Amino acid sequence: MKILTVLTYYRPHTSGLTIYAERLAEALARRGHQVTVMTTQYDKSLPREEMRNGVRVIRVPVAFRVSKGTIAPTFGWVATKLVLEHDVVQMHLPQFDAPGVAFRGRLFRRPAVLTYHCDLHLSEGFFNRIVNAVVHFQNNMAGLLADQIVTYTQDYADHSPYLSRYMHKLRTILPPVELPSAERGAIEAFAREYQTKERRPVIGMAARLAAEKGVEVLLDALPKILAKYPQAQVLFAGQYQDVMGEQAYAERLMPTIKKYEAEGHWKFLGILNPAQMAAFYPNLDALVVPSLNATEAFGLVQIEAMLNNVPCVASALPGVRQPVRMHKMGRVAAIGSADELAAGLLDIFDHREKYHCDTAALAQTYDPDSVAAEYEKMFEALIKKKHK
């Protein structure tokens, strides 16, 4: 089967969406399919075309950016050529260009599948309201033209203004999650570097420093944690400098973060590769996902943590609360509540023996090959239906 995957950003850009897309594309390629990813050349240093782990990646030049989106004038021309060359088209939303690609699928009798990752909520402001309106319009056009829409959980779909319009086209498939085994001695080396044996408990957060991630909720919860555990520390894995569109947010939080850094209660680790993340999780006592709005739909990092028997405290957002609920590995805190986040963490630290899971069964549930097999069956059924 020839599968075309289309999305605005692809690896090496780091986000939950790009990680999902990469895992799925590579798993489909390992299953013997010819997979092409069409994306933008958001960084001019990236090659226009390359092979990445069995996946052909084609990057379309970007003329300029609008907020977090990109304007690529030749995107439509390249899409026309590639849709014609493939059997099925899969798009990752939110994406400005999706309706044009889905229309080409209709025109050339190629099934079009949307994988919907989250609702878009840009920060307040006149310009961002316009961007939100345009993207919502584009997503809805893509939804009308698509043959099938995939999302992670029914919980998220039930509360999404977008997905609730397309329940007749909707299918839920859990996301692909995998981590390599930690290299020999890596966990111990990580512990020595960040003093995770001496300064406990260790709270992990794996995210970009972005407004929707709710970093301020964790900052506000820290005084209650430190009152009982004065040696506690936060290890923040992810991009924290020059995050696109988040400069004002970072500037607002940095005075408080700098204070905790100076006291040894906060450390920025930067972007960690998969091998480094495999050493990161076993050094944690808990992971937090205090996200604030529907731009977060699940929180893949929760499953990565649980694969290392690390419990999580997640906000009560639809979708985001599901990993903890499904796998009984942590606590759910009210959205934006520092008090409930602190209470959840303290319960985990005080009763660590309550939180264990069958990591082998969990790994099988989220194995990229298992997820790819679900997509494969869906693609085959849609192609068969299209050519009746």
Q: Are the C-beta atoms of residues 143 and 149 closer than 8 Å to each other? A: yes
Q: Are the C-beta atoms of residues 202 and 196 closer than 8 Å to each other? A: yes
Q: Where in the chain is the domain with CATH 3.40.50.2000?
A: 2-176+367-386, 186-364
Rounded Cα distance between 311 and 123, Å, is 30
User: In sequence order, what are the beta bridge partners of 150?
Assistant: 115, 171
Residues 195/199/201/207 CA torsion (nearest 10 deg): -50
CATH fold for the domain made of 186-364 = Rossmann fold (3.40.50)
Q: Which residues contact 166 (CB under 8 A, 6 or more apart)?
A: 143, 146, 149
Strands 286-289 and 202-206: parallel
Please give the chain's pLDDT, 388 residues, in tens: 999 999 999 999 888 899 999 999 999 999 999 999 999 999 999 999 999 999 999 999 988 766 666 777 899 999 999 999 999 999 999 888 899 999 999 999 999 999 999 887 656 666 667 766 777 788 889 999 999 999 999 999 999 989 999 999 999 999 999 989 999 999 999 999 999 998 899 999 999 999 999 999 999 999 999 999 999 999 999 999 888 778 899 999 999 999 999 999 999 999 999 999 999 999 999 999 999 988 889 999 999 999 999 999 999 999 999 999 999 999 999 999 999 999 999 999 999 999 998 999 999 999 999 999 999 999 999 999 887 7
Report the chain's terminal Cα–Cα distance, integer Å.
Answer: 17
CATH number belonging to the domain at 2-176+367-386, selected among 3.30.230.10, 3.40.50.2000, 3.30.300.30, 3.30.420.40: 3.40.50.2000
